[in-house]
Structures are given as C-alpha cells and as structure tokens.
Structure 1
C-alpha cells in the first residue's frame, strides 16, 4: 500500500468517513481531527514507516498530498510568496524607533513599570480565582446559566479594580462615563501615565500629529449594554464601540495623527506596534502611543475556551514545560510611547530601548483556522530580522508567544530553533521565555505585555525567569534546537554588538507579529 493510500485510510477512520470521501488536498482539521488525533496519527505513521515522526508533522504539512510528498522526499509546490526585504527606510538608525515611556496596569496589583520589574524578578504569579462579584449577574439569570458558570474554570489574571474612574479628571460627564466600556477608561488612564513616564505633559500634545494605536478584541461590555434596550442612549453607542478605545484618547488630547483600534485577536497589540512603526517611519505621525487592553467581564468567552479544551486544568500557563496543558485568560493594559530614534535624540528624551524592526504575516490555509503554521512562523522571523538588519545569531533572548499548549509550544520552538537557534554552540543557546507564566494570557494585550517585559529586561541587562517550568516538554528537544528556558533571573548573554531581543505574538485566526528590539547605549 502506498503512503498516500495509507494516509487516506487513517484519516477516513478518524473522521468516521469512507476513503472515497477523503480529499488529499483538504486540510486535516476540516475532517474534524483534533490535536490528539493528529498526534495519534503521527505515532501510527512513525510505526508504519519505522522512523521517528515529530508530533507536529501534520501541522507542518497540513494535507495528505503535502505530507506524503514531504515524507517521500518530493518537492511540493508551495503557494507562499518568497520573503521580500523590508521597506527602504529600514536601514540603520533611519528605521529605528525609540521607546521613551511605559504605562501598565496588570494583574497582581501591578500599576507601574517599576512594579512590573520587581514582580518579574521575584518570580511573581498573578493568577487567582474570579472575583466573587464579577460573574454573579450571569449566575442569577437562570439555573442553566448558573450551571455553565459553575463548571467554567474560575482561574484568571484579574485586575483589582475595573470600575473606578476619575471622570472629572478627564473632563467627561458622569452620565457619559457610566456608558463607557471600562477598556476605554483604563486605556485613557494608562496612556496618560505612559506619557508622564516619558516626561511629556499630555496637554501639550494638542494639535500635534501624534498617533494612537491600540490592540483590543474583547467587547463584553458592549454586548451586555446593548442588550438592555430600555436603557440604551446616545452615549451607549460611543461607549461600547471598540474603535472608540483609540479615538477617545485622540479626542481627549486633540491628537491629529492616525487613531486605530486593531483586532487580530491575541496578536492585536503587537500588530498595533507594527502599524505605529510604519506610520512613524512614513511621517504620518511624529509620536505614537501604542498599547493593548483586555478585560474579562463575561464568563462566555472563558466558557467557550474551556469547552474547547484550551484552558489549563490548574489555571497556569506552563510554557515549554512537560506539564503544559493549556493557558489561562487574563486582563490588563499596557502602553508605550514611541518616537523615531533621531527625533528622540534631538529632543533629549530618555530612551529605554530601540525597536529595530518588525513584521506581520498570516498563516494562510493551515491545518485549520486556529491551527498555527510552522512555515509562516519561520517566514515571519526571517522578515522581521531582515527588516531590522540584525543577524538572528546575535539575538540573546526571545519573548515567545508561549501559551503553554501541547502542540503550540513545539511548533513555536521549532520555528525559533530553525531561524535563530540551530547553529549556536551548546554553551550559548538562545534564551526563550514568556510573561504568560507570570500573568496568564492577556489576549489583545499579550503582545504589549511581552514587549514591555523585554524593554525592561534590555534596560536592566537581566532576563527574568519563566516560572512553572520544571521539566522541558518531551516533544521539544531544546538542546538540539539551540534553545534554553531561563528558570532564574539571568544576566544578558554576551554574544554580539549589544543586547538584542525579539517578541512574538500570534492570533488564533492566524495573524502573527514579531518585533526586534535592542538596548540603547
């Protein structure tokens, strides 16, 4: 029996279909194969061929035609486009963006960059059970609703306060403030704090060509509020619209540059950073306020992810660990203030770190809408480092997406090892980690949280530990990939011209982003 026929029969068996119904050009995921089925087929395939087959093989080659061609040594045609060089402006300092201010409000009582750095260096864990009052209204709706809440994981990374807001300070009428999504309120407050951290009086930006770029994907407040039809009013519309998260700040400060709320799910805020960088380099804005915000106001999304099997049983993200079994949802907000490096030098700004380059791409037709693509991740990394004009072998640390899922982690580690780690000497591995081990998965704000961690690590010259990492995932051969997960605070590797780092963020719909950062000497 040839390999293609064997694969058709195995897929038919798992899909409860006849072999005649199996299309060799259709992704495995479209037959209803879940992660555990794909792993099982990989094991059976290894036995059938009498050789080792990685558990990620069906994600790397997501159709029977592509998989059989790869295993038989054929060159399968790829629909992907060849990598292109970055924009002409991405050369030296002309393409460099300075980070000059930070603001954050995160689980664990973190309200400033100093709080975050102390928390990370102490190996803090911000995960707790849902505040008692948060989902109480859903539990009281019906017995069926209460049953769903009761069986949904209670774990998450929660802010101490999502309702407090000084409307008078921002000149907003109490009636309007009451109709504002708390994501709008928190983003206003944290952006203001980031500008102050940068030494920029917010009121002095009026009329300037400053831009606002924020990642946001949750609309729990808007869905709840618009269902209460008797109470809907004019303020409800602007208060519940996700696009107004960015617009509200631009309006408040009278900013005249681009004002964008970007939703690419979990990669939203790092995609927002990429958009901000492009707008700064093109001259469409001279200062960029970049961030992400996420709040868990409804149990609905958590229940959905829980039912899909994506959530960790113990409520902890365990990146690259043998016990990795899923992630935990979290909320919070992070904001940076950025300028072109030449402008920051001219203005005498304190530069915390430099963004050398960035890239965004899409998985395309992978093995399912939510399935990662190993090839796309590798292409993303190559594009980002080409845009930054940085040799990947000089990078000391990558803040990975690192959700702690059984297959997501091996696929990400493989891409990092292929592009940045494989040729390194054993004594000088690429360090990889994830702030999700400390804070959980902030979804739309995850990318900016990871980026802020990297900015602080570059500035201080130390890399915080990734907690909940006791034993490496057996599906990931870290030494062979040239990778290592730091489990204690580690000095920055000395392997190049300066301290260099990367940050990755992937959206569950397939939009990926990566940024390249360097310390500022």
Structure 2
C-alpha cells in the first residue's frame, strides 16, 4: 500500500497513481478537504484518508468529524479517518461507515516508539491543548507541538507573519513556507514536533495496551463493544432517559445563540417540535430580559425551556440577569464560561443548570465541586470556539468521567454533546461514541446550534433574516477570525472576513502589543453579528439625539458586506431548509434507526491449524512455586547452581518418624523420608475477594493457584492491560485425587464408623464442615475458582493424567487455541499432595528411592522422589502474541499424546506407545528429531521407566 499526499498539480497525482497501480500497489490519498478527495477520485486512487484539523502535520480547516461526514456523502470511495481517533471515537467512525482509521501520534508512547525519553515525557503530560496551527493565512497549515522556549516553533511563527506581511507570488510564498517548515521539523528537543491534539491519548493507550498491536486490538474490541451497547440502549432515541429527564420528546437541546435565539416565538417552535429551547441572554440588560422571559413563559406554558447566560460577564450585569431569572424561574439554565458555584446558586433556586466544560482539568474540578450537568462543545461550532475538536474533546471527557466517578455517581450525570451534530449520521456517531456512558446510567443528549439556522421557523419567527439562511445554505467553508490567542470566532466567508484580515495584517505590521491588537479587532467585530442575523445596526446618533431610534434597518446588500455570519462547520453539510420537527426526527429517530441497522464489526478470522501444520503457540507469561524456588528467577538460578531442593519431610508438615521403616515390606510404614516441599508464602485473600474466615475450608492448592495465576499474568504484562477475558480459558493438570485438607475431612467423616466415642481433642484437630468445605476440597474446583476470580469466560477444568497431567493440560490448551475457541489459555500443573497418604501409595508400589535421590538413566538409580509445586503458563497463538507485542519465552510447535494399548501390566511403560506420541508430535511440528538440540525426559529414575525412555 502507498499513501500519497496531494501534489500541487492534478497531472502529477494521476501519474503517481498510474505508476503505483502498474506495480500492483493499493493507493490511498491523504486529504484535508473535499476538493483534494475529488482530485483523488479523478486520478483513480483506491481510497482517501480524511485527515482532520486536529491531526499533526499538514492539516486543513475541517475537523475529522466534519470532513469524514463530507467525504462519505460526496466521494464514492472508501474513506479512512485520521485525527482525534481514540477508543471511543473509533466506534463513531465505524458507525459513520468509514473503511478504517489511521493512528499516528496516539502510538508514540507504545513499547515500539523510537522517541527519546524526554520527548515521551512531554507527550505523556499532554491533554490536547499543547498544539498550535501555523501558516493558515499562507494557504498551508501545519499543526505542531508548542511549549515555552521552543525556538523552532517561535521561528516558524515569525516566518509565517513575515511572509504574510510581505507576500511575493502565491506559489513562491507557499514554497518558501514549506522549506521553512521542512528545515525545522524533527524529534530533537530544539525542533518542531508534528503532533496532533490526539497525542493526548498516547499515555492512556500505552498504559492500557503497551504495544502497537495491543492498541489496535483494544480499539477493535472497543468498536464492537460500543456498537453493541449503543444498539441495545439507543441513547438518543425518542423518549430516551435524557428526554424523560427534560420532559421533552427528544434528547435534543437547542443551544443558546447570541443574536439568534432571543425570540420567544422561536423557542416555542423548538419546544413544539419536541426539543428543549434555550434563550441566549448574552449581554442583555434586565429591561430587555424581563419581557422576553415573560413572553416565553406565556407561549410555552408547561413545556420546558431554559436560559443561556455567560459566566464571565461583569458582576453587576450578572446580578441584574440573575434577579430576573429568579423571578421567572425557567425550568433550565446553561452557563458558558461559568463555574460550579454559579451553577449551584441556580440549582438552589430549583433550576437545573448545565455548564460548558472545555477541558479535562476543568471537568475534574467541576466534578469535585458537585456539578453533574455538562456541555461538551467541540471546535466545530459556530461563534466563539474552544481549542479542542469534538473528537478530541469528547473522547477525553468520556475517559475522564469514567475514571473520575463511581457508577452510582455517574448515573447522576446529564451530558450534552455539541459541535458538528445535525442529522442522523452525526447523531449515530455520537450515540456509538458515548455508549459506555449510557451503559453506566449517564443521561446523554445532543445540543444543536447551526442546524437550526436552516429551519424555516428561524426565518418565520424572526430569529434570523432570510439572507442569513441563504448565506448558510451557500456556505461550503468556514473561517476562524482570531483576535488573539484563545479568542477565535467561526463564521462564513463573506466580505467582512477580508476586512478583518486586512486590518489584522495592518496591525501586525505596526508591531503593536498583542492586547492592543485584540482590543481593536474585538471592537471591529462589535455589532457585526446583529447586522447579519437581524438586519439592523445601532443608530449612530442613539444616546445623543433623543429622537434617534436605537436600531435602524440595514439593506440586504449591506448586511452581506458588513455582517459577520457566525456559523459552524456543519453549514458545509447542509444545502436546503427544513422544519424543526424534521430536524429533531432526523437526529433522534432516524439516527437511532441508522444505528440499529448497523452490522456488528466482523470478527477477525481465527487461524485454525490443520493437520500437518505446526501449532505455533507462544508462551508469553510464566510463574512457579517450587521447592526452594518461590519464583521464576530463583528457580532458574537453582538450576544454574545445581541446588538440591530435596529435604527430609519438615516437622511442621508431618512427623515422618511415626511412619518410617527402612524395611520396604513393613506393614503400614513408608521407607522414604525425603521429598520436595514448598516454603510458606504470604497470601492476601482480600485480593481475590475471599473472606478470611473461609480459608480453613479451602485446600491450599486452590489458593496457591490463584496467586500463581496472578503472578503469571503479571509476568505476561496483562495485570493492568486489557485482554480478551471472555475468550480466556483455564486448564490445569492436577493429579492425586484428594489434597491434604480433603483427606482430613475424609478422616473426620469416617471416624464415627470406627469409634462410638472419641475425645474432643480429636475433633478439634480436624477441620469442621462448613458451607465452603465441599468446593474447597475438590481439586477440580481450582480452575473454576481462577476463572471466577479473574473473570474469564472461556472453558475451565482440570485434567488428571497421573504423571502426565501437566502435559495433558498443555495438549488441551494448544487445541483450544488452534481451534479458535480461546484467545488465551492459562495452563498449568499443580500438586500439593505430600501427605503420609501419598508416601504410602508410592512406597507400596516400590517406586520411591530410599536414599531420597532420583538418578535418571543411572545404573544406581533406585526410584523416584516425590515433590510438590505449582507452575503456570500463559499461552497465546504466536501470530496474536507478535501482533500484541508480547514477550515470547518460547514457541510450542506441536504437542501430541498416545496410549500404550493392551499390554501385560497396567502401569508398566511401553516403548512402542511412547514412540507413537513422538512421531505424532514431530509430524505436527514439521521437522526431524535429528534437528533437536535439547531433550527433556520424564526421567523417573525407575528401572522400567528409564529403560523404556532410552529405547
């Protein structure tokens, strides 16, 4: 595959596409606008990438949320989305119909990242506000990371201003600008880093998924989960939880729009259409507000409505507005640029109040102060905009909510998403993205602004002029007018935009202070929106001449020339008027219908091994608890240093002297006092949700297995990293029948059959029966307890194949992975049966070494030495392990088994049966035994067993 960036000439693009197609390469074109995508279609590319404004490097004006919608509607090619893609917004892209997503800066903190430690530290601290765009006025915008004292960025800023003030021919200026950027881009400390706002996702993605493969798998799982939840809950449908909480038909809110939503009749039309209207009070004084609220209350009656106020207005004006609000008590309020204490004052008056929240830091603070109603509005909106795109803001805020609040408090939250929402497609995207919130009881809805400018009712009620709507319909691109850092207004491109930009260039050329420039430009903007929306302007003599009216009508031509048409990027997606009921129905009902019809993402095909193909199963995690080896490292060191872990039976286990007799045939005696015994280890039952008072009723094997699985997952890196628990199985090889605890219960239950009366001391030394005893003594419950405590959804069972129990477990685990029924298997062997009962069993079969030394394949070998221990492996398909960036200890190429068939003895080994298993294993693995460099034998140290293995 080849990804091209758009060249300056169409002919060049056509030539490149044709050349790569001749070499059988798939060609995608990275585009930042519709025009480039149409170029690509004409040139014959196989697909396009919608690279949004929030991405790093060269970008356009439209964000991924908007550009993706435009390309899907206007270009009949597969579309990939790039910019602002995280765990939640990836699902939104799928819901929209994107062919896929593109990740770049989100992956910079994964294990594979080549960046320096210093660069990684900087990226890890990002929250999405640390990037800026340079060069927009020159016709080619680059998004870069910025911080104080970064010379490359400051140099580029100055170069851009210089080129803008002294332009040569446009092509020459653009080439000069490109060279300036290219000469400073890199990853050294002093260079310009091409980072997107979505680099803020890198830390959480790396923390959760570690590797590039892990991130990709995590996003795949998130897409499927988000879609499934959204389809089940339909959170934006008619009558949704938020709609019921608002008392409206739809979970749709009309956002307060200065100089637009200041008409009671317009609010009434929104309410009649099933939405929640908000009046924009902006800078209105009490004499203007009072009749507006009175008329609204009269027109709407019992239907809900609200007021939108600004939290940053002067204190005197705020108090004046609040006094009127208290008198009329609107059912709802919304504060832009406000604080939790301001909302709390209104809440105390019985007015539920929403707060605009533009950053995760503010959201954390607002949540700590008890606020629970929020508006998350992305940069796509019209008018004054925040720094983050909708995708970046929404993804960040969803994560913040999920982390900051427990489920019982999350369900108290009411969330409105805003910025670029206007129809069924955009609504379905939001519903999918916000599915995890809806699942936890959060009431979610959407806030619309620009979409209402296209309604017939907006003109009929005088909210806007007809010319304003005509300009909205004609608008195919918006622009930001920036008066200063952090102060930008989005509007349609009209003659006023040129006037503003010329004045700004003139001010910059004079090298005036930034604050003075901002003041001049803000003054230039005053009254421009009123001219555009209402077709009136303040009379020049008002306030001086008592006869002069406050406002005078402006001609339609002057409206267009002088007005500032504040409008969101949504304008480019709409080309005809509609009614408010149609708008609401489209967003809520049709959006939910679209979501319901969406097919669930196809599961990735699982590779299934066929006969003769090697298994290729990776060991990605290990743990052990063995005699004199409480962990892997100690076990390996013991091997290297030839540590003898065999000891006499410890006195705290049982007194071997009561049972020992060197005579092999002595009745009710054992002739070996040797074995391998694990040392005590600390165990915290609360880690596994086990009440401490139940431990006496649970065999230690079950508890130790829990601990060893925990350590194996930790070793594999999956303790705090997501993995497919639903498809994780547990298979344990456990032999011996009954553990020490079970034998004691057996003794307790059997004593009454032998004795009528026993001293109390006997009973107190034996475990008492409890409701936990039965499950506690069954060794086959060990696997089930692991699955239960670790939340695994695959199969779980134990297998008993005597000395081959662990190998049998591995055999079955490999089959699970090959068949695709499991994606991960916890497999192991466990044996803690080191009681007198076990020694009797082996002594009476004459299998134990009386010297306590097992000497496999030695002429002096005289038997085995039994030991206890637990070992756990974490297995995955090799391809999956490589994809997920797992550390791979070894690869299991094949596992095979066999039986000896009919023979003279039941327990005597038979070489023919062992050869049968070996042949099957090598055939499966696909290589010859002659190529093997190390063989590990069973090596029991018994004469018959060793002889069979050697043969």
Which TM-score applies when normalising by structure 1? 0.58
Inter-CA distance 317–408: structure 2 relative to 1 (3 Å threshold): same
User: Do the aligned partners of residues 226 and 137 (structure 1) sit closer, same or farther apart at CA in structure 2, a change above 3 Å counting?
Assistant: farther
Give the ranges of 4+ consecutive aligned residues of structure 1 lying more than 6 Å apart after TM superposition: 147-150
Question: Which SS does the other structure have where 1:349 is aligned?
Answer: coil
Q: Partners in 1 of 2:932 and 2:872 — Cα distance?
A: 24
In the aligned structure 2, how far is the partner of 1:102 from the partner of 1:114?
11
User: For 2:687, what is the secondary structure of its paired residue?
Assistant: coil
Q: Which residue of 1 aligns with 2:613?
A: 91
Flag structure 2 segments of 5+ consecutive residues without an equivalent: 1-607, 660-665, 750-762
Paired residues for 1:283-432 under 5 Å: 283-414=820-951
- Answer yes or no: is the 8 Å Cα contact 2:817–2:876 preserved in 1: yes
Q: Which SS does the other structure have where 1:361 is aligned?
A: coil
The aligned runs of 1:144-293 (5 Å cut-off) are 151-161=670-680, 164-201=682-719, 204-205=722-723, 207-218=725-736, 219-220=738-739, 221-229=741-749, 231-293=768-830
Find the aligned partners of 1:265 and 1:155 in 2 and give their Cα distance: 20
- Displacement after TM superposition at 1:133 (Å): 2.1
Alpha-carbon distance change, 203 to 352 in structure 1, aligned in 2, over 3 angstroms: closer
Work out whether 1:134 is the aligned partner of 2:656: no
Aligned partners of 1:149 and 1:299 also within 8 Å: no
Q: How much has 1:207 moved relative to structure 2?
A: 4.4
Relative distance call for 1:202 and 1:177 in structure 2 (3 A) is farther
Work out the CA distance in 2 between the residues paired with 1:351 and 1:321.
35
Deviation at 1:201, TM superposition (A): 1.0
Matches within 5 A, 1:117-128: 117-128=636-647
Structure 1: how far apart are the matches of 2:674 and 2:890? 34
Q: Give the distance between the partners of 2:720 and 2:783, measured in 1 at CA.
A: 15
Shift of 1:329: 0.5
Taking the aligned partners of 2:926 and 2:724, their CA distance within structure 1 comes to 35
Contact 2:609/2:819 (8 A) holds in 1 = no
Question: For 2:853 and 2:833, how far apart are their aligned partners in 1?
Answer: 17
SS of the aligned residue for 1:345 comes to: helix
- Asked if 2 retains the 8 angstrom alpha-carbon contact of 1:97 and 1:339, the reply is yes
- Counterpart secondary structure, 2:717: coil
Change (3 A) 1:327 1:251: same
| Contact 1:139 1:149 survives alignment (8 Å) | no
With over 3 angstroms needed to count, the CA separation of the structure-2 counterparts of 1:343 and 1:205, relative to structure 1, is: closer
Distance of 2:906 and 2:797 partners within structure 1 = 25
SS of the residue corresponding to residue 407 of structure 1 reads helix
Q: Secondary structure at the match of 1:358?
A: coil
- TM-fit CA distance, 1:176: 2.3
**Cα distance between partner residues in 2 of 1:203 and 1:222:** 37
3-state secondary structure, aligned to 2:809: helix
- The alpha-carbon deviation at position 228 of structure 1 amounts to 2.6
CA contact (8 A) 1:98 1:353 kept: yes
d(CA) in 2 for partners of 1:204 and 1:398?
36
Output one character per residue of 1:152-182: Cα deviation in whole Å (capped at 9) or x when no partner. Answer: 41100111127x5321221101132221111
**Change beyond 3 A, Cα 1:116–1:137:** closer
Give the distance between the partners of 1:368 and 1:152, measured in 2 at CA: 24
Q: CA deviation at 1:203?
A: 7.9
Would you say the 8 A contact 1:97–1:341 is kept in 2? yes
Give the conservation status (yes or no) of the 8 Å contact 1:366–1:372.
no
* 1:372 to partner: Cα distance: 0.7
Aligned counterpart for 1:115 among listed residues 634, 649, 655:
634
Q: Distance in 2 between matches of 1:202 and 1:292?
A: 25
Residue in 2 that maps onto 1:515: none
Alpha carbons 1:287, 1:339 under 8 Å: kept: yes
In the alignment, the residues of structure 1 paired with residue 693 and residue 735 of structure 2 have an alpha-carbon distance, to the nearest angstrom, of 25
- Counterpart Cα distance in 2 of 1:274 and 1:129: 34
Cα distance in 2 for residues equivalent to 1:114 and 1:87: 33
Secondary structure of the corresponding residue to residue 851 of structure 2: coil
Instruction: Report the counterpart of residue 101 of structure 1 in structure 2.
Output: 621
Which structure has the higher relative contact order (CA within 8 Å, separation 6+)? Answer: 1
1:404-448 deviations in Å (ceiling 9; x for gaps) = 11121111011xxxxxxxxxxxxxxxxxxxxxxxxxxxxxxxxxx
Most deviating of 221-230 and 253-262: 221-230
Q: Cα gap change, 1:119/1:138 in structure 2, threshold over 3 Å: closer, same or farther? A: closer
Question: 2:609–2:818: 8 Å Cα contact kept in structure 1?
Answer: no
Unmatched segments (≥5 aa) in structure 1: 1-85, 141-146, 415-521
Q: Deviations over 1:473-509 (max 9, x none)?
A: xxxxxxxxxxxxxxxxxxxxxxxxxxxxxxxxxxxxx
1:214–1:203 distance in 2 versus 1, CA, 3 Å: farther
Deviation, structure 1 residue 291? 0.4
Q: TM-score when scaled to structure 2?
A: 0.32
Would you say how many aligned residue pairs link Structure 1 and Structure 2?
A: 319
Paired residue for 1:456?
none
Q: What is the CA distance between 1:213 and its match in structure 2? A: 0.8
CA shift for structure 1 position 137: 11
- Aligned partners of 1:153 and 1:303 also within 8 Å: no
Is this contact kept in 2: 1:215–1:263, CA < 8 A? yes
8 A Cα contact 2:698 2:773, kept in partner: yes
> Residues of 2 paired with 1:244 and 1:373: CA distance?
33
Question: How far off is 1:128 after superposition?
Answer: 0.1
Deviations 1:122-141 (A, max 9, x none): 1111000001021249959x
Give how far 1:256 is off.
0.5
Larger radius of gyration: 2
How much has 1:243 moved relative to structure 2? Answer: 1.4
The structure carrying a bigger helix percent of its residues is 2
Distance 1:138 1:314 in 2: 15
Q: Is the 1:195–1:202 Cα contact (8 Å) retained in structure 2?
A: no
